[in-house]
Amino acid sequence: MAEVKIYTRLILLSFLCLVSGAEAGKLLVIPSDGSHWTGLKPLVEELGRRGNQVVVVIPEASKSMGLSENSTTLTFPVPYTKQQLQIMVQANLEGLMSQDASNALTRAWRYFKSLRVLRSYISRACESLLMNKELMQILKNWRFDAILTDPFEPAGVIVGEYLDIPAIYTLIALPCMVDFEASKCPHPVSYVPMRFTHHTDQMTLAERTVNFLRSVFEPMACGFLYSDVNKLASRYLKKETTITELMSKASLWLMQLDFAFEFPRPVMPNMVMIGALKCEKPEPLPSVSNS
């Protein structure tokens, strides 16, 4: 696990060196809240410790994001407070968890309700950042070499395109399977379970049928989730575009998962599994006496 963690950081450092042509680079980081930031923070701090100029952009109100070591933190105002955010998240989580998920129909309804909640949240946070002209001009003047962002909240995807810099995505899983479509990653529905179906990679005929139907409706789910953000991105970038199209330009995908916990599936050459990123440094095993 420790070796994988070190290997991942070396990949990112090597990439920064390539795009900057120097030993250190200027890296813009736009993370997502919650556990997404918890997993990314150690990597961001390590990159800063190794001499890279790291700038982290976060909203003034968030659940878990704050100052990080060896980096510069910039904040932008959002139309909600930390308390309001916590109340909203808690209320929606309790509502979703209390719903029945014993069959495919109720799981699908639960999935749709979660998309409706996320749609409102990500669009407000995204617009707050993009419409902050002063901050966006500061980021443009900084002349970053690359952006490291979690596309769970798509603001970083749009900012990377606006600044015209290589994009590195780190993600666990997205609400809909837009990452599969954007990365052109094969996902045969007879073999790879759709997210939130509770299926395994050894599905019955009925489960494969449900999985197929979910794959048919998945583009519609993505269209619903990102409808407001797609309009915002098109207006801000002054061209018709979608989050899927912007994400397809990613230079590197750092997948915070591992086949030990996920189902084996095809991945593209620019996708790297970093499932050990959140692991703490292992303690030495206690010595065992043979006597």
pTM metric for this prediction: 0.79
Work out the number of other CB atoms within 10 angstroms of the CB of residue 124: 14
The amino acid at residue 194 is M
Digit-coded pLDDT (tens) for 229-238: 999 999 999 9
Position 60 in a domain:
yes
Do 118 and 222 meet the contact criterion of CB atoms below 8 Å apart? no
Weakest-pLDDT range from 64-68, 94-98, 260-264, 281-285? 94-98
What is the rounded CA–CA span in Å between residue 30 and residue 162? 14
Position 282 in a domain:
no
Of residues 67, 70, 65, 30, the one with CA closest to residue 54: 70
pLDDT of residue 3: 45
Expressed as residue numbers, the domain containing 169 is: 2-273
CATH number for the domain harbouring residue 49 = 3.40.50.2000
What is the rounded CA–CA span in Å between residue 136 and residue 155? 12
| Residue 1 three-state SS | coil
Instruction: Name every residue whose Cβ is closer than 8 Å to that of residue 196 and which is 6 or more positions away in sequence.
Output: 107, 111
- Structural domains in the chain (count): 1
C-beta contacts of 270-273 below 8 A and 24+ residues apart: 270/183, 271/183, 271/185, 272/8, 272/11
Instruction: Name every residue whose Cβ is closer than 8 Å to that of residue 199 and which is 6 or more positions away in sequence.
Output: 193, 207, 210, 211
The amino acid at residue 223 is G
Position 209 in a domain:
yes
Position 50 in a domain:
yes
Structure tokens at 60: 């003034």
Position 107 in a domain:
yes
Position 156 in a domain:
yes
Position 7 in a domain:
yes
* Average confidence score pLDDT of the chain: 78
Do 158 and 130 meet the contact criterion of CB atoms below 8 Å apart? yes
Work out the number of other CB atoms within 10 angstroms of the CB of residue 236: 18
Position 48 in a domain:
yes
Digit-coded pLDDT (tens) for 225-269: 888 899 999 999 999 999 989 999 999 988 877 666 666 778 888
Do 47 and 25 meet the contact criterion of CB atoms below 8 Å apart? no
Q: 137-151: buried (b, 16+ CB within 10 Å) or exposed (e) per residue?
A: eebeeeebbbbbbbb
pLDDT of residue 2: 44
